[in-house]
Amino acid sequence: MEPFNGIREPDRRVMVVTGHYGGGKTEFCVSLAMSLAKHGFGPYHRLALVDLDIANPYFRSRERRETLESVGVKVYGSAYEHEITAELPALGANIRAPLEDADCRVIVDVGGNDSGAVVLNQFGKYFSPEDALFLIVVNANRPETRDLEGALEHLRAIERKTGRAIDGVINNCHLLLETDAACVAKGHALCRALCERTGKILWCDTYPAPIVPAEQVEGKYEHLLPVGMYMRPSWIDK
């Protein structure tokens, strides 16, 4: 395993990732899982990604089950494990297995917006502040989170619906294939302001590694995670 290099190593076993529709939450979760698989699971022997997104039929992390499991990341989610296009909002009972496994590091990909985050309430006993880190992905180019007040309202709405405080903010500012280093900087400024207003941690900044050259962003941010384009289907550019 390669050592962490600029990537913030999670300090809790479970990472719950929330965020607005279209913010890049699922891409972040898949990229984080791939990065942890490369750099190590910390004090744990297993790594799992739990897909709790039953609100959005598109861009679900469980659609990349084969890619993730090829590097040792076990994927849990729909009751229809082999029917990734099924639109039935049914969660498999086995998603509790990694949450109950003290030797498994878990990334939880939660449905977009505060409405999608309500599903967390079914599993509240697994998300104690001591064991679970709550993160929110913010894309400064989304209309709903393009300014401080919008991002703040989105964060507060998720906290109200789940009854859990957000611990950290993730800057995932992007414009799909038009993303550049200035876009990352724009998002960083917004997320830093959001953290200053709320007392949250700026958990990391991200950049799309297939588009933005690493040398344009490395060294400018304390914690930086390159994200892939795992969730971008081939048909979208045609």
**CB-based contact 98:105 (threshold 8 Å):** no
Quick one: average pLDDT of 190-209? 97
Domain ranges for the chain, please list them: 14-232
**CB-based contact 148:156 (threshold 8 Å):** no
Q: Is 137 exposed, middle or buried (0-12, 13-18, 19+ CB in 10 A)?
A: buried
Q: Is the pLDDT of residue 44 over 60?
A: yes
14-232: what fold?
Answer: Rossmann fold (3.40.50)
Average pLDDT along the chain: 83
* DSSP structure string for 166-222: --EEEE---BTBT--HHHHHHHHHHHHHHHHHH--EEEEEEEETTTS-GGGTTTSSS
Which is higher by pLDDT, 115 or 236? 115
Out of 33-47, 59-73, 129-143, least confident range = 59-73
Beta-carbon contacts of 198 under 8 Å, excluding residues fewer than 6 positions away, are 152, 155, 166
pLDDT bracket for residue 198 (50, 70, 90): very high
User: What is the per-residue pLDDT for 135?
Assistant: 96
**CB-based contact 42:5 (threshold 8 Å):** no
| Nearest CA-CA partner of 23 in 158, 122, 162 | 158
pLDDT digits (tens, 9 = 90+) for 123-158: 788 888 899 999 999 999 999 999 999 999 999 999
d(CA 138, CA 53) in angstroms, rounded, equals: 17
pLDDT bracket for residue 86 (50, 70, 90): very low
**CB-based contact 71:86 (threshold 8 Å):** no
pLDDT bracket for residue 27 (50, 70, 90): very high
Q: Can you tell me whether residue 233 is helix, strand or coil?
A: coil
Residue type, 233: P
Neighbour tally for 84: CB within 10 Å: 14
Q: In what order do the strands lie in the sheet with 168-171?
A: 73-76, 46-52, 104-110, 14-19, 132-138, 168-171, 201-208, 224-227
Element (H, E) at 11: none
pLDDT digits (tens, 9 = 90+) for 210-219: 999 999 999 9
